[in-house]
Structure 1
Amino acid sequence: MLTILVVWIRPHLRSTTYLYLSSMAVSDLLMLLLMPLDLYYKLWRFRPWDLGDAVCKLSVFISESCTYSSILHITALSLERYLAVCRPLIAKTLVTRTRVRTLIGCLWVVAVISAGPVFAIVGVEELGGGEGESECRCTDYAVSSGLLGAMMWLSNLYFLVPLGILGVVYGLIGRKLWLRPQRRN
């Protein structure tokens, strides 16, 4: 909350880097607000689920959206840092606050769309055994339809693609810094 507040109050701190950090702070704050629900129902009392199907779906959706958003923000910020170090003239003209704000909005839209299938995958289901207990979990439909498998592929791509991009980008940044002539004092 402090990051968001400081950037909001202090206009001179609205650099592109702080815009990314503020947006990631929003994501972190949403995750933090959901944490008590996650801890209570996933660790301490996962059965029965008493909060209904809508809360089940919405809590998993928000969690997935925030996770995807954070990954996309870290990747975009790393690409910006690459431009700043390796292509400073391009960075000066290409990376503006307006463009970064637009990009951040697009990152959130992509994250929300990517997490959208959660509404069809997760739900409250009655457990077998006749005790009337229910649980918030991946539905049988998600498994039988292949939707769960598709989301697993998407989750893996959200890990592997940014990992590859970050590996290349930071390798290029490291190379640029290594080859930079050293100053003599």
Structure 2
Amino acid sequence: SKSYFLLRSIGVKVVWVYNAVFWVMLMCVTVIYIPLMLFGLLGNILTILVVWLRPHMRTSTYLYLSSMAVSDLLILLLLPLDLYKLWRPRPWPLGDLACKLTMFLSECCTFCTILHITFLSLERYLAVCWPITAKTVVTRRRTRAIIGCLWLSAAVSAAPVLVMVGVEDVGREDLGECRCTHFAISSGLLSAMMILSNLYFLVPLCILGVVYSLIGRTLWLRPKSSRRDQSHRNTVKMLGVIVLAFVLCWLPFHVGRTIFSLSLGTGTERQETYLDTNSQSDTITHYFNLVSSVLFYLSAAVNPLLYNLMSARYRHAVRSLIRTQSHAQARRMHTLTVHHSTTTL
């Protein structure tokens, strides 16, 4: 009897410590999320404006980067909902349709970013290793068509999410939560989607490894005096850093999702355990998911900073855009002041 009560008191203390540490981590994640979102929104909006308001920036490389900025922008706009779900997983206040659409959009943008990085690297491979072919194959019109196909492919690949997620009552409480449905787990749709998601990460990762190895070999064998090759080297360096940041930020995200998928069985008892809010994953999984979610949003926010650090052309275009907008606003203020003075006289 005494042993039972002793073990029970120890268990209560362990749960209390776990909850306290988890809430502290959740507060730290919130503090990181807010400036990350603001910085990412500003940077990606600047990238889009720079490419579309500066004609000389509408090269195939920057067309890909501006489209990827749109994808990252949408991911960051969904961050407040993700943060809300972390603090209050239920009840979901926006209804079943909003639950499906937000999860679909997040998955679609995830796939789209991966496809953009892959095709952008392939385009650089053609430009460096097959420059004559690239002049005829890589055009702005074709780049825009490819970008449209990438968005369409990402949307089709993410379409199963519309069936997989929904608002379901959890446990004995009549409170709906936006989450993966009982049907998705029992039918194996969740496992199939996790396989597709991992393929979306692993296959492009292999392609990127081969492509950058070939690009590096080609540039190494060429003389360094060529201005064109120097420009290629600068672009490849920038893209290499972007790819490295992508791998480092997204690898924990995919590992965490795979662990989550494997932790769900197909048996009724296991599904009921999953649907019970009092039976969560172990402590390490919780902490890992929090860290991987921060890295996931960091990837969406950090790309404009990398462009600014690695590309003098991008820095010059941003400065030119800001300077032009400042001068335009100053002229408008001067015009309004003169007009007001004239009318008062």
What is the TM-score of this pair, normalised by structure 2? 0.51
Give the partner amino acid of 1:2: L
Task: Give 2:115's match in structure 1, choosing from 35, 55, 72.
Answer: 72
Quick one: distance in 1 between partners of 2:125 and 2:209? 11
Matches within 5 A, 1:22-41: 22-41=66-85
Matches within 5 A, 1:20-99: 20-41=64-85, 43-99=86-142
Quick one: distance in 1 between partners of 2:82 and 2:65? 24
Quick one: distance in 2 between partners of 1:182 and 1:61? 46
Give the partner amino acid of 2:70: V
Highest CA radius of gyration, 1 or 2?
A: 2
Post-superposition Cα deviations, 1:46-72, rounded to whole Å, max 9, x if no partner, equal 122121111111111010010000000
In structure 2, the CA distance between the partners of 1:21 and 1:182, relative to structure 1 (3 Å rule), is closer
- The structure richer in helix per residue is 2
Unaligned 5+ runs, structure 1: none
Give the partner amino acid of 1:46: P
Q: Which residue number in structure 2 is paired with residue 143 of structure 1?
A: 185
Unaligned 5+ runs, structure 2: 1-44, 226-345
Give the partner amino acid of 2:204: P
Q: Which residue number in structure 2 is paired with residue 108 of structure 1?
A: 151
Q: Which residue number in structure 2 is paired with residue 163 of structure 1?
A: 205
Runs of 4+ deviating beyond 3 Å: none
Quick one: distance in 1 between partners of 2:224 and 2:162? 55
Quick one: distance in 2 between partners of 1:116 and 1:132? 28
Quick one: distance in 2 between partners of 1:140 and 1:182? 59
Question: Which structure carries more relative contact order (alpha carbon 8 Å, separation 6+)?
Answer: 1
The count of corresponding residues between Structure 1 and Structure 2 is 181
Quick one: distance in 2 between partners of 1:20 and 1:182? 27
Q: Indicate yes or no: 2:194 matched with 1:152.
A: yes
Give the partner amino acid of 1:57: K
